[in-house]
Amino acid sequence: MRYLILSDIHANLDALQAVLHEADRLTYDRVLVLGDLVGYGAQPNEVIDEIRALDPLAIIRGNHDKVAAGIEGADGFNPIAQQAAEWTYKTLTPENRLYLSTRPLGPIFVDGDTEICHGSPGDEDAYITSELAALRALKQSERPVCFYGHTHVPVAFRLTDTGFEVVAGRSNGERQVTIERGMQYLINPGSVGQPRDGDPRAAFALFERDPRVVTLYRTPYPVERAQERIVEAGLPETLARRLALGR
Ligand code: ZN
C-alpha cells in the first residue's frame, strides 16, 4: 500500500494537476488529504471536483475550508485572506460548499501506523513553527506517523527514546524518511498550491507502507498560468506574486 499525501492545495488546479501527473508516474494506491483545499487560488470548484474524483481514503478540513464553506467567520484572517475567502464562498457551487462544510475535523486515524491532522493533533488551527511545538505535537499524536499541514513547509521530525530531531526538510529536493520501529514521526508534506519555504514548486509526499518509507517530493508546475487565473478572477494580486516566490 502506498499513500499519496496532499495538503494545502488552496484552489491551485495547475499545481494539483502537476502533482497528480507526477504521482501517477511514481504510482500510489490511496490518497490522504490534510485540508485547505481552497482559499487564495482561483479554481476552488475545479480542485474540489478533482479531489472528489480521487475518492480519498481520508480527508479532513483546514481553516480556510471552514471559512470558505461558511461554518466559521474570517475574523482570524488577514485582509487579503478574508477577501479570498469571501470570493471563494461566493464562487463555490452549493454542492461543493456542502462537501467542504462536511469534511471532518482532524485528527483522523487512517490505520495502525498513520494519523492525519491539519494544524496539530491537539488543535486543528495551531501552527507547528518551532521545535517546541513539534515536540508537543509528537507527544499528542497517537500513531507512529502523524502527517500535518497548515504551515506550508515540508519537514519531518522524529522522537526517539533518547531525543528529538529534525530528519528531513529545510532544503530543496527529494527527501526520504525511513520509519523505524519504536520511534514516532511528525511529517509535513508541504503545500501543493502555495509553498512557503522559498521553493515555488508544488510539494507532496508518498508513504510506502512496506517497508515503511516516507518520501517528500517537489514538482514544477506552470506558475504563470495559476497567477493569470488569480488576476483574472479579481483576487488580490499579491496572491499571484507570492506563488512565484514560494512565500
Ligand atoms: Zn493552508
Residue 171: the pLDDT is 60
Residue 235: left (phi > 0), alpha (psi -120 to 50), or beta? beta
Of 36, 40, 24, whose CA–CA distance to 61 is shortest?
36
Q: How far is the CA of 38 from the centre of ligand 1 (A)?
A: 8
For residues 206 and 3, what is the distance between their CA atoms, to the nearest angstrom?
6
Q: How far is the CA of 163 from the centre of ligand 1 (A)?
A: 29
Q: How far is the CA of 211 from the centre of ligand 1 (A)?
A: 30
Q: In what order do the strands lie in the sheet with 114-116?
A: 108-109, 114-116, 145-147, 184-188, 155-159, 164-169
Q: How far is the CA of 192 from the centre of ligand 1 (A)?
A: 10
Q: How far is the CA of 150 from the centre of ligand 1 (A)?
A: 5
Q: How far is the CA of 111 from the centre of ligand 1 (A)?
A: 24
Q: How far is the CA of 34 from the centre of ligand 1 (A)?
A: 9
Chain CA centroid to CA 231, Å? 23
Residue reference for cell 480521487:
54
Q: How far is the CA of 121 from the centre of ligand 1 (A)?
A: 16
Answer whether 141's CB lies under 8 Å from 184's CB: yes
Q: How far is the CA of 88 from the centre of ligand 1 (A)?
A: 14
Q: How far is the CA of 171 from the centre of ligand 1 (A)?
A: 20
Three cell numbers written together for 19: 502533482
Q: How far is the CA of 233 from the centre of ligand 1 (A)?
A: 20
Q: How far is the CA of 35 from the centre of ligand 1 (A)?
A: 7
CATH classification of 2-245 is 2.40.50.140, yes or no?
Answer: no
Residue reference for cell 520511534:
183
Dump pLDDT digits (tens) for 23-71.
Answer: 999 999 999 999 999 999 999 999 999 999 999 999 999 999 999 999 9
Q: How far is the CA of 186 from the centre of ligand 1 (A)?
A: 17
Q: How far is the CA of 62 from the centre of ligand 1 (A)?
A: 7
Dump pLDDT digits (tens) for 144-202.
Answer: 999 999 999 999 999 998 889 888 876 654 689 999 999 999 999 999 999 999 999 99
Dump pLDDT digits (tens) for 90-115.
Answer: 999 999 999 999 999 999 999 999 99
Q: What number is the average pLDDT over the span 125-149?
A: 96
Parallel/antiparallel/unpaired status of strands 58-59 and 30-33? parallel
Answer whether 8's CB lies under 8 Å from 35's CB: yes
Q: Is the pLDDT of residue 235 over 90?
A: yes
